[in-house]
Structure 1
Amino acid sequence: MICLSPSDPTGGGGIQSDLLTGASMGCHVLSVLTGLTVQDSAGLEDSRPINSDWIDDQARCLLEDMPVRAMKVGGLFTTEAVSVVAELSADYSALPLVLHLGADPPETPDAETEDGAEDVLAATIELLVPQSKLVVVDRQRLSQWLHDGVLISDTEGAESDAEDAVQMLLALGAERVLTTGLHEPGEQVVNHLYGADEPTVAYPWPRLPGNYRGAGSTLSTAVAALLSHGLDIQDAVAEAQDYTWQALSAGFRPGMGRMLPDRFFWARKAAAEAAEAAAAGLDAETED
């Protein structure tokens, strides 16, 4: 599969997360860098976009060389980048596109930067959402975008702002929308899978303690990896959530900020079990 994302030097999100998650799930990940960032485990301080022509050249060079079965798109920093990625996706429309709407904007009081981020989001919704097999987004973000006017609703009687926003994304052409409930209250985290004219599927998960970085990146890339293995969308979404929950459950806190998922939890678990079995065998030999 091919992943288009910015760099995250912490390994929590971004292209580093894509590489770790994809490799853990048996995929060879082709990586297209969309931006550079300055960040630590606490948050994003600054970012620098990659020229849109370079994004296009990176992707097409790879796609013309190797067979690819799925595409995941993460953070994009300019409207020009959104435009070239949309054109790329249209040219390779046979590839299922998983779009993660979850990039953190730089923490800055600069109004021009904030306006630019809103323009990028609006362009992403207009150009990439209609081409997406799956949009992965936090419910709280959806509600905020509705309040901020990034999404303009004409729907009456919706159960919530997030539900209203989901229907808008589906109306734009997204095949499915997966909303995550990490930031909503409750003992469980409840994710929801929506499709046009299909019943909504709820996925409750035990809430884990701690504040995590990279949960959405891990989840969206895991879905893309499973789609590239040939799973249908519902099976891929269910299995990707299980993988992500286990990665978060085995998470660690390497710095002074948020916890990071352990995408190779299964390998460390297998190594620990093998060590325990070897130690038990040595104990048995000693007793004999």
Structure 2
Amino acid sequence: MQDQLSPHSTPIVLTIAGSDCSGGAGIQADIKAISATGSYACSVITAITSQNTRAVNAILPVPVETIESQLDAVFSDLNVIAIKVGMLSDAPVIEAVAKRIADYQPRYCVVDPVMVATSGDRLQSPLAVETLKECLFPVADLITPNLPEAEVLTGECFDESPSDDQQRALLKLGAQAVLLKGGHRQDSALSRDWLFSAQHRQVFDAPRIITRHTHGTGCTLSSAVASYLAQGERLPEAIKRAKNYITQAIVSANELNVGQGRGPVQHFF
């Protein structure tokens, strides 16, 4: 177990995810969000993607040994308080990352199960999804699936607010808590997310913003949650602050003129 955060410590957050060469999602979005919300960002790259605001064109997994080496380098030197896990391309990578998390035991682990890109592209095989459930979710304090990802994980249809049975199905995946992101619903004036654990239920609302600038929103939100946890916030308050942050980043995205598809948010509004 690493040392806990002292009043004079730098809140360090490690992001473990794939690289987005267009800069709007993945490792690049994570580092921007962690930095903008006041923590120190370090990173372990798990895959190199060829993508932009319109599509994911190719994914090159980083060798497992290189991922393990990066993790060992970071954890052997930096006092990582929280980690955010994003895209893990295949089952061996998921197993390796889960083992290192169990070995090093950072105080907080936030997993964004990146299975479907904003563009709609599937990013993980069925075997990788099953390995997420078996190996990674049980070491997570929080998972942050969106509605399409929740459907893949449970086989349920999430058309309305999650039922008690659907909440239980997501919690049975093994994480201590679930933040179900409702941003994909287009039939509501609100962007609503649901937090639930064995002891807690809470809803987080924000005005729905009609915009094409949604590239990397899931990466950004989960990274901001990890950042605020590293700074000592309790989970509900960390989510509340992260929700406010991503909302303002989306509102301010019109300041940018990046890409011809779904543009990135403005992390440094």
TM-score normalised per structure 1 = 0.81
In structure 1, distance between residues paired with 2:38 and 2:138: 29
Query: Which ranges of structure 1 fall in alignment gaps of 5 or more residues?
Result: 150-158, 266-288
Asked if residue 138 in structure 1 is aligned to residue 146 in structure 2, the reply is yes
Aligned to 2:267: 263
Structure 1 position 101, deviation (Å): 1.2
Aligned to 1:250: 252
Query: Which ranges of structure 2 fall in alignment gaps of 5 or more residues?
Result: 1-12
Asked if residue 102 in structure 1 is aligned to residue 106 in structure 2, the reply is no
Aligned to 1:47: 59
Q: Among residues 207, 214, 217, which one is paired with 1:215 in the alignment?
A: 217
Aligned to 2:88: 76
1:101 alignment partner, SS class: coil
Structure 1 position 148, deviation (Å): 8.3
Asked if residue 10 in structure 1 is aligned to residue 22 in structure 2, the reply is yes
**Alignment check: 8 A CA contact 1:15 1:31 kept:** yes
Identify the structure with bigger relative contact order (alpha carbons < 8 Å, sequence gap 6+).
Answer: 2
Count of aligned positions? 251
Q: Sort the Cα spacing of 1:36 and 1:259 in 2 relative to 1 into closer, same or farther, 3 A.
A: same
**Alignment check: 8 A CA contact 2:116 2:148 kept:** no
Structure 1 position 160, deviation (Å): 6.6
Structure 1 position 203, deviation (Å): 1.2
Aligned to 1:147: 155
Deviates more, 1:137-146 or 1:60-69: 137-146
Aligned to 2:236: 234
**Higher Rg:** 1
In structure 1, distance between residues paired with 2:50 and 2:39: 28
**Greater helix proportion:** 1
**Alignment check: 8 A CA contact 2:64 2:93 kept:** yes
In structure 2, distance between residues paired with 1:168 and 1:118: 18
- CA deviations on 1:22-71 (whole Å, 9 max, x unpaired) are 11112211110000011111121110100111111101111101111111
What is the root-mean-square deviation in Å for CA atoms of aligned residues? 2.4
Asked if residue 193 in structure 1 is aligned to residue 195 in structure 2, the reply is yes
In structure 2, distance between residues paired with 1:54 and 1:79: 15
Aligned to 1:88: 100
- CA deviations on 1:138-171 (whole Å, 9 max, x unpaired) are 023212443389xxxxxxxxx8777544322322
**Alignment check: 8 A CA contact 1:140 1:181 kept:** no
Percent identical among aligned pairs is: 28
**Alignment check: 8 A CA contact 1:142 1:162 kept:** no
Aligned to 1:118: 126
Aligned to 1:128: 136
In structure 2, distance between residues paired with 1:229 and 1:161: 30
